[in-house]
Amino acid sequence: MDINLPSERKEFRDFGAYYASDIQPFFTQWEDARQKAVLQMALTGIGAVLLAAAAFKFGPFGEKNIQLSVFVGVAGFAAAMWRLNKTRGSISGGLLERVCARLGFSYRAGLTRPSYCADFDRLSLLPSFNREHWEDEVRGERDGAEFVLCESHLKYKTSGKNSSTRTVFHGQLLVIDYHKKFLGETVVKRDAGMFNRFIKPGKGFQQVGIASPKFEKIFEAWSTDQVEARELLDPVVLERFEELDRLFDGAKLRAAFSGGRLYLALETGDKLNMGSMFKPIKGPERVEMILKEFDLIFDLVDVLLKRVDGRLDGAFSVDAIRSA
């Protein structure tokens, strides 16, 4: 089976044969279930609309019939989406599990708040939230460095009569072993101008002066160890941070060096997913999309770990990856 691979990395070697032997049969198995879920959603939606119209016209509650019709319509739509999302979760989880197994990674579709979330929170890399959803955790190793990646959808619901819920973060959290123990802790964020004083990580952190005028306009940094921070935040590292932010289309990169690990939070939205449920799942396009995301992760790890060897002469190209 022909499959367009995002790069010639060794991890993708012979992936076409693996797709034909393991993933394509999985798609064939679930295509019928996908069609049924879409059809049931459509029928449930039509039924809900008809019931809502009947409740509005023939309901016994007078002026409250409109409330009854809205309730029936919303309930019907929720039931239709529940069925569709359940099938989508089974297909997406099974696909990611197979891709990760081939790459030598472990995968969990659903999870509760992971332990490393506390570090992101302590380092002020995440906003305040009181509603949370975690999924698609991938654990692996690349060039001797362990990493863990997961998707987080965080919301904040206000209290009171006119309460509302808004998304405060939807994207990827990534933790990478950095092959180096740090004496202090250093946090880097996108410069927020006059609001920088509100995003300071904590009392023990002091602002770090960034030597490069170019990056001083882009990033703001704080650290508990000024000398170490200046060593970590050399122009090469900051250049790569800027490229990562561009790579993910302005994902508001936030990073922290702490305890021998690098913590990254990127507002990428839902990245590791199977795509639309309203299209057949018989071709390799969905796998190609996921492999591109893993290719970005590999680039990210390489970019950060290879800093000890100096510049990456052409090994990391935003434009090349986007055109893949």
Residue 46 lies in a domain: no
Q: Hey, is 258 helix, strand or coil?
A: strand
Q: Are 271 and 92 in contact (CB under 8 A)?
A: no
Who contacts 41 (Cβ-Cβ below 8 Å, separation ≥6)? Answer: 80, 81, 83, 84
Residue 280 lies in a domain: no
The pLDDT value recorded for residue 10 is 85
Q: Record the tokens describing residue 170, joined without a space.
A: 């939807």
Structural domain count, the chain: 1
Neighbours of 1 (CB within 10 A): 14
Residue 238 lies in a domain: yes
Give the side-chain half-sphere CA count within 13 A for 307. Answer: 20
Which CB contacts under 8 angstroms, 24+ apart, belong to 204-213? Answer: 208/233, 210/238, 211/235, 212/238
Q: Hey, is 110 helix, strand or coil?
A: strand
Q: What is the rounded average pLDDT of the residues 142-148?
A: 86
Q: Are 125 and 263 in contact (CB under 8 A)?
A: yes
Q: Hey, is 109 helix, strand or coil?
A: strand
pLDDT at 31 over 50: yes
Who contacts 58 (Cβ-Cβ below 8 Å, separation ≥6)? Answer: none
pLDDT at 176 over 60: yes
| pLDDT tens sequence across 54-83 | 665 656 655 665 666 666 666 767 777 777
Dist CA 264 CA 125 (whole Å): 8
| pLDDT tens sequence across 215-258 | 777 888 899 999 998 888 877 778 777 777 776 776 788 899 99
Residue 149 lies in a domain: yes
Instruction: Sheet with 145-157: list strands edge to edge.
Output: 106-111, 131-142, 145-157, 165-177, 261-266, 254-258, 186-190, 219-223, 206-208
Residue 186 lies in a domain: yes
Residue 21 lies in a domain: no
Residue 315 lies in a domain: no
Residue 324 lies in a domain: no
Q: What is the pTM of this model?
A: 0.76
- Range of 255's domain? 107-273
